[in-house]
């Protein structure tokens, strides 16, 4: 059935997804067929103030208003009409962090983002107390650390939320949070779909539960856009109040939706400045592992997350060097072309990288126990230093820490039927995808919609509001959203798998070199 997008926009048969990422706020308008119709964005950067990584609340609203204005302008340019309403709205943002408010709704300290790592003592205490891994970036770790440090604002805290939860609260008046985002604040029981009762009781100090947002599942009513909320998004008064909103979610959850990876035995890998994998579990893990965070899908199913601080940045730095060399030869080329040519070279490399080792550690890496990083290329005198082996080792190095975490999952008996990947590294067809399949030991699928990102994912969750009574989220995505999606799957090649295993064995042993470099350089 052909959909008239002009009619859909004019009649409000669309959904609006907004995601506040680390470097960009993006809005996407999606049609009844889930196709992106228009978009707007606003670039922003965190600030390092008083040794805290933060964004001001003023920057949040300035960015959102510019983003939404850019979206409306794009609609007008493409379709020749001004959108005044949409069928539903969804808000997503970077997970975790610390946003504490007092009784009057005033922020007590500047927003502490997921990037802050000052919560070590609290995270260690809570992990031991709960028998459950509590990462440094989780909201409960931030609250507990503030208590341990005797910060004077702690007794005044009456509400604690995430960035997505804060924006949703201001737009609707509802203090709620999607279960996926909530599971990165405080551990969630996947059976009850609520905060874990045993851990709530074990939390040291005053009762924490009254401070936390109400948990909602995908498809549940999360309120509607108030007059005040409409004015916050669109000060021109064009956007009408009364639009329903879906539960606000974190960027991990919207990434799962954007790649159709919400069913058990599926997972997704996101590669950018950092790299992380999300695997939907069939049952709880038997042991606590510091390499694995436990969160949930937007529907509340348990997910194991392997989060690596370092991703493709070092590979990008080398691509820039080779681009400079091409310019020095009098053959300048666009950065995307240089990157693509280099990646293609990796396929010509030896399966184990020719004996070369590459570490992409620009920053510390908790999974391998490193508080700081030193990017390294290491080789023995008898290794084969060629361009193809060098690039293959760099790609392998980008996936090395991720593979170590995935092998912890495998030791728990976790099996994968499909892994979906997204990120700029996969724009060069067939290279990173093929080598990632070897690194994770599972088929890796790359689809067109993965590039639309979390703003599209939360727009899809907003659209799901109208279908939740009829279908579960996994079925809705498979049947209505991704049924005709174009995707390419790479199955692990036996030679690549064997070569990567050899590389990873050397890589693990060579971490001692990385640790020594941190100590002496």
Backbone dihedral angles phi then psi of residue 94, each to the nearest 5 degrees: -55, 140
Token digits for 158?
């009456």
User: Which of helix, strand or coil describes residue 324?
Assistant: helix
Say yes or no to pLDDT of 449 above 60: no
Say yes or no to pLDDT of 4 above 90: no
Say yes or no to pLDDT of 2 above 80: no
**Structure confidence by residue, pLDDT tens digits, 42-98:** 999 889 898 898 999 999 999 999 999 999 999 999 999 988 999 999 999 999 999
When pLDDT is averaged across residues 1-24 and rounded to a whole number, the result is 89
Host domain of residue 36: 5-247
Quote the number of domains for the chain: 1
**Structure confidence by residue, pLDDT tens digits, 185-201:** 999 999 999 999 999 99
Token digits for 324?
């400079």
**Structure confidence by residue, pLDDT tens digits, 231-277:** 999 999 999 999 999 999 999 899 899 989 999 999 999 887 788 89
The verdict on residue 32 lying in a domain is yes
Taking the C-alpha atoms of residue 154 and residue 148, their distance in angstroms, rounded to an integer, is: 10
Residue 397: closest CA among 442, 432, 366, 424: 432
Say yes or no to pLDDT of 450 above 70: no
Q: How many CB atoms lie within 10 A of CB 505?
A: 11
Q: Predicted confidence band at 447 (pLDDT cuts at 50, 70, 90)?
A: confident
Q: How many CB atoms lie within 10 A of CB 84?
A: 14
Residue 224: closest CA among 239, 212, 241: 241
Taking the C-alpha atoms of residue 192 and residue 268, their distance in angstroms, rounded to an integer, is: 25
User: Which of helix, strand or coil describes residue 164?
Assistant: helix
The verdict on residue 466 lying in a domain is no
The verdict on residue 428 lying in a domain is no
How far is residue 166 CA from its own chain's centroid? 18
Report CA-CA distances (Å) from 455 to 18, 28, 99, 460: 5, 6, 22, 9
Taking the C-alpha atoms of residue 438 and residue 494, their distance in angstroms, rounded to an integer, is: 8
pLDDT-wise least confident of 302-311, 417-426, 432-441: 417-426
Strands 15-20 and 88-93: parallel
Taking the C-alpha atoms of residue 440 and residue 444, their distance in angstroms, rounded to an integer, is: 9
Q: Strand ranges (DSSP E) for 162-236?
A: 176-178, 188-189, 194-195, 214-216
Token digits for 326?
């091409």
**Phi-psi map region of 20: left, alpha, beta (phi>0 left; psi -120 to 50 alpha):** beta
Nearest-5° angle of CA 67, CA 467, CA 10?
A: 45
CB 393 within 8 A of CB 353: yes
The verdict on residue 165 lying in a domain is yes
Say yes or no to pLDDT of 1 above 70: no
The verdict on residue 277 lying in a domain is no
User: Which of helix, strand or coil describes residue 287?
Assistant: coil
The verdict on residue 469 lying in a domain is no
Instruction: Please count the CA atoms within 13 angstroms of the CA of 263 that sit on its side-chain side.
Output: 13
DSSP state letter for 248: P
Token digits for 508?
């693990």
The verdict on residue 443 lying in a domain is no
Backbone dihedral angles phi then psi of residue 137, each to the nearest 5 degrees: -85, -5
The verdict on residue 95 lying in a domain is yes
When pLDDT is averaged across residues 101-113 and rounded to a whole number, the result is 97
Token digits for 155?
């007794």
What pLDDT was estimated at residue 276?
87
Report CA-CA distances (Å) from 109 to 52, 155, 157, 383, 474: 10, 13, 10, 53, 39
pTM comes to 0.88
Instruction: List the CATH number of the domain containing 238.
Output: 3.30.420.40
Backbone dihedral angles phi then psi of residue 284, each to the nearest 5 degrees: -60, 155
* Total residue length of the chain: 521
Contacts of residue 335, Cβ cutoff 8 Å, sequence gap at least 6: 319, 320, 323
Contacts of residue 432, Cβ cutoff 8 Å, sequence gap at least 6: 271, 343, 395, 421, 425, 426
Residue 163: closest CA among 148, 143, 184, 145: 184
| Exposed / middle / buried, residue 118 (Cβ in 10 Å: 0-12, 13-18, 19+) | middle
DSSP state letter for 492: P
Q: What is the dihedral of CA 173, 42, 220, 12, to 10 degrees?
A: 100
Token digits for 417?
């039927």
Strands 24-30 and 15-20: antiparallel
Report CA-CA distances (Å) from 155 to 147, 201, 206, 212, 469: 9, 19, 9, 15, 41
**Structure confidence by residue, pLDDT tens digits, 131-176:** 999 998 899 999 999 999 999 999 999 999 999 999 999 999 999 9
Token digits for 11?
């009649």
């Amino acid at each position: 059935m052909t959909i008239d997008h002009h009619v859909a926009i004019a009649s409000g048969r669309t959904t609006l997804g907004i995601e506040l990422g680390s470097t960009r706020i993006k809005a996407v308008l999606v049609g009844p067929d889930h196709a992106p119709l228009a978009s707007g964005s606003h670039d922003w950067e965190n600030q390092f103030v008083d040794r805290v990584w933060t964004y001001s609340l003023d920057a949040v609203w300035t960015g959102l208003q510019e983003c939404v204005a850019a979206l409306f302008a794009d609609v007008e340019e493409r379709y020749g009409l001004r959108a005044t309403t949409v069928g539903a709205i969804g808000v997503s943002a970077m997970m975790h962090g610390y946003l504490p408010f007092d009784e009057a709704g005033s922020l007590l300290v500047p927003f502490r983002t997921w990037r802050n790592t000052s919560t070590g003592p609290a995270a260690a205490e809570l992990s031991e107390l709960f028998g459950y891994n509590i990462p440094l970036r989780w909201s409960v770790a931030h609250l507990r650390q503030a208590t341990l440090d005797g910060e004077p604002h702690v007794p005044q805290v009456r509400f604690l939320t995430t960035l997505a939860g804060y924006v949703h609260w201001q737009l609707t008046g509802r203090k709620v949070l999607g279960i996926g985002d909530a599971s990165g604040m405080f551990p969630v029981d996947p059976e009850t779909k609520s905060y874990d009762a045993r851990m709530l009781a074990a939390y040291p100090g005053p009762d924490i539960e009254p401070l936390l947002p109400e948990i909602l599942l995908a498809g549940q009513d999360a309120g509607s856009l108030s007059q005040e909320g409409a004015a916050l998004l669109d000060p021109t008064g064009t956007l009408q109040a009364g639009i329903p909103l879906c539960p606000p979610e974190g960027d991990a959850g919207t990434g799962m939706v954007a790649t159709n990876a919400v069913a058990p035995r599926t997972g997704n890998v996101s590669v950018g400045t950092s790299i992380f994998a999300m695997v939907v579990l069939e049952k709880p893990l038997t042991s606590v592992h510091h390499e694995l965070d436990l969160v949930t899908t937007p529907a509340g199913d348990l997910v194991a997350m392997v989060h690596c601080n370092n991703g493709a940045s070092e590979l990008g730095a080398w691509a820039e060097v080779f681009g400079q060399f091409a310019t020095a030869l009098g053959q300048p080329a666009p950065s995307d072309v240089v990157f693509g040519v280099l990646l293609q070279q990796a396929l010509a490399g030896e399966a184990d990288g020719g004996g070369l080792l590459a570490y992409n550690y620009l920053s510390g890496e908790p999974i391998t126990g490193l508080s700081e990083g030193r990017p390294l290329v290491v080789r023995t005198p008898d290794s084969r230093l060629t361009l193809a082996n060098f690039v293959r080792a760099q790609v392998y190095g980008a996936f090395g820490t991720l593979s170590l975490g995935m092998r912890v999952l495998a030791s728990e008996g976790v099996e994968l039927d499909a892994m979906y990947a997204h990120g700029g590294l996969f724009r060069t067809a067939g290279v990173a995808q093929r080598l990632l399949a070897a690194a994770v030991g599972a088929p890796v699928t790359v689809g067109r919609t993965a590039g639309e990102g979390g703003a599209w994912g939360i727009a899809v969750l907003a659209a799901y509001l109208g279908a939740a009574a009829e279908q579960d989220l996994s079925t809705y995505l498979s049947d209505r959203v991704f049924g005709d999606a174009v995707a390419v799957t790479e199955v692990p090649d036996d030679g690549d798998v064997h070569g990567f295993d050899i590389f990873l064995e050397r890589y693990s042993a060579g971490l001692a070199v990385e640790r020594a470099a941190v100590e002496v350089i």
